[in-house]
Amino acid sequence: MKKILVLLTFLFVIIIENIYSQELNIIPKPVNQVTLTERFNLNDECRVIIQKDNKEVKRLAEYLKSDFEKRTGLKLKIDYDKKSKGIQLKLDTSIKETDGYKLAVGSDNIIVSGNNYKGILYGIQTMKMILSHDKEFYLPGCRITDYPRYPHRGFMLDASRHFQSIGFVKKVLDMMALLKLNVFHWHLIDDEGWRIESKKYPKLNEIGSYRDSLYAVERNGYYSQAEIKEVLKYAGERYIKVIPEVEMPGHSRSVMASYPELLCPTGEGGKTYCAGNLKSYEFLKNVITEILDLFKPEIIHVGGDERPKGVWEKCPDCKQMIIDKNLANEDMLQNYFMKEICDFISKKGVKTFAWAENIKDGIPKNQIVEGWHPGESWEAANRGYYTVNADNWFTYFDYPSYPRNDRPDWMRVLNLETAYSFNPTPDSLQESQHKFILGSECALWTELVLENDVQYQLFPRILAFSEVVWSLPEKNYEQFLYRVKKVKPYINSIGFEFEKGAW
Ligand SMILES: [Zn+2]
């Protein structure tokens, strides 16, 4: 009986290998792919062929060349002659889907064509993932048509609770580009630390960036403006949008330690701006102007979540503001506060993004809502607000992937299969409102996570997330798991280990 079972298991593994090997091991899974028996062998004769006079395609060709050279030791050349044997990179206006690409690998040539430059980059990422090796390096024959499901495919990294090096942030950006993620939401300010160099308010760094001597490892410091510019350039070269986050009115203990005059005069709510004090608005407008000048972002995140309740209602200045502005209560005072700041930002031509709070009482027009509790993005989309569905049950990768005693009880277990099962556009949302769901973000809050442990929290779950936001909604978990195992060695080779034993 035991022998029969062993034999059956063996046969099952062979059948699965045969079924799944019909598809290439690419994550996120492409929209459409056909595999061919031929293959393209890489050697020193191979050229990267581009059109003359297009600097951006040339830059992408250099990017591909440098990656393949590092991995194969071969010397590729960039050429303008289409008759050469090699990898051709080109723009193709017949591809209609934004950021879409086509990849055709034959025995003599490879053609990567993109709807735009981003499309070409995504075609290159797919090639990086399928580069194989037996006696020699080769790319398996295929025809791929691919494009993203959502325009907003984000990763949020908390640099406040623990602080990561610039080198590590760049490694994260490389990994994001490989997984075709295009938004880096950088959580730079929270209770535990202010992480942006401010020339206008130096105490934010002298005091606000060095708050915690108790857990000094990776808890103290900030990014200089020059370092931030370096990250912005690196992200831009990978077409990754950087969204800096400035928390308000709560989660601001690092600001209050630096400039305590911004607290309510009652001294309560040690992490919240006093909304009755005009100096709070003046400070935020000044510091946001400095941050906008530095980042030049399309979007800035203004926090907005978890203001301690009951503080403003006890403060004479906040109570006076509620009367003066004819507001119903302190929740409406938060709406007033956020609207003041968001209107100021909008006038500078920058969009605002905030955690869902008080949606039913109205939020600033044009603000993008980040839903993090189940149902919040559904409510936002239903009310006609653009929204990013970062439902914490599926996207908070600081949560454990298996039951753990060293994590707080409120953290749900979020395993790989749950992460994979997420659909950012809820079934119950009317089709007319689907357009308001811009996509999703996965988040890594770092209260309990040091830089070296980030990799174990992210992998393999971020692979599931990349399919959630890029691939078609049809799912096959077993097949996904098969591909996860196949791409693991490559992910390890770019510097990310997987969590052990949890999947
Ligand atoms: Zn107050």
Whole-number pLDDT of residue 159: 96
- Residue 322: beta bridge partners? none
Residue 330 has pLDDT above 80, yes or no: yes
CA of 301 to the centre of ligand 1 (A): 23
CA of 306 to the centre of ligand 1 (A): 16
**CATH class belonging to 152-493:** alpha beta
Dist CA 446 CA 143 (whole Å): 41
Residue 359 has pLDDT above 80, yes or no: no
Q: Are 466 and 129 in contact (CB under 8 A)?
A: no
Could you tell me the two tokens for 70?
Answer: 């590092």
CA of 314 to the centre of ligand 1 (A): 8
CA of 307 to the centre of ligand 1 (A): 12
Which phi and psi (to 5°) does residue 61 adopt? -65, -40
Whole-number pLDDT of residue 214: 54
Q: Are 419 and 464 in contact (CB under 8 A)?
A: yes
CA of 272 to the centre of ligand 1 (A): 9
The band of 2, judged by pLDDT with boundaries at 50, 70 and 90, is low
Q: How many CB atoms lie within 10 A of CB 65?
A: 19
Dist CA 67 CA 337 (whole Å): 48
Instruction: Label residues 10-36 b or e (16+ Cβ within 10 Å = b).
Output: eeeeeeeeeebeebbbbbbbbbebeee
Mean residue pLDDT across the chain: 93
pTM, rounded to two decimals: 0.94
Half-sphere exposure (Cβ direction) of 52: Cα atoms closer than 13 Å: 3
CA of 59 to the centre of ligand 1 (A): 52
Mean pLDDT of 172-182: 98
Q: What's the distance, CA 78 to chain centroid? A: 32
Residue type, 71: R
CA of 363 to the centre of ligand 1 (A): 21
Residue 9 has pLDDT above 90, yes or no: no
CATH code, 25-146: 3.30.379.10
CA of 477 to the centre of ligand 1 (A): 51
Q: How many CB atoms lie within 10 A of CB 96?
A: 8
Triad 399, 404, 408: Cα angle to 5°: 60
CA of 76 to the centre of ligand 1 (A): 64
Residue appearing with tokens 């630390």? 193
Residue type, 432: S
CA of 320 to the centre of ligand 1 (A): 9
Lowest-confidence segment of 10-19, 28-37, 161-170, 292-301 by average pLDDT: 10-19
CA of 391 to the centre of ligand 1 (A): 32
Q: Please give the DSSP secondary-structure letter assigned to residue 406.
A: T
Dist CA 299 CA 279 (whole Å): 25
Residue 362 has pLDDT above 90, yes or no: no
- Residue 110: beta bridge partners? 87, 105
| Helix residue spans in 21-88 (DSSP H) | 55-72
- Give the model confidence (pLDDT) of 203-248 as tens digits: 999 999 997 655 566 788 999 999 999 999 999 999 999 999 999 9
Domain boundaries, the chain: 25-146, 152-493
Q: What's the distance, CA 332 to chain centroid? A: 31
Lowest-confidence segment of 118-127, 204-213, 492-501 by average pLDDT: 204-213
CA of 335 to the centre of ligand 1 (A): 15
**First-last CA distance in the chain:** 29
Q: How many CB atoms lie within 10 A of CB 366?
A: 12
CA of 159 to the centre of ligand 1 (A): 28
Q: How many CB atoms lie within 10 A of CB 478?
A: 9
Whole-number pLDDT of residue 18: 58
CA of 193 to the centre of ligand 1 (A): 22
- Give the model confidence (pLDDT) of 37-51 as tens digits: 999 999 998 999 999
- Give the model confidence (pLDDT) of 269-290 as tens digits: 889 999 999 999 999 999 999 9
CA of 383 to the centre of ligand 1 (A): 31
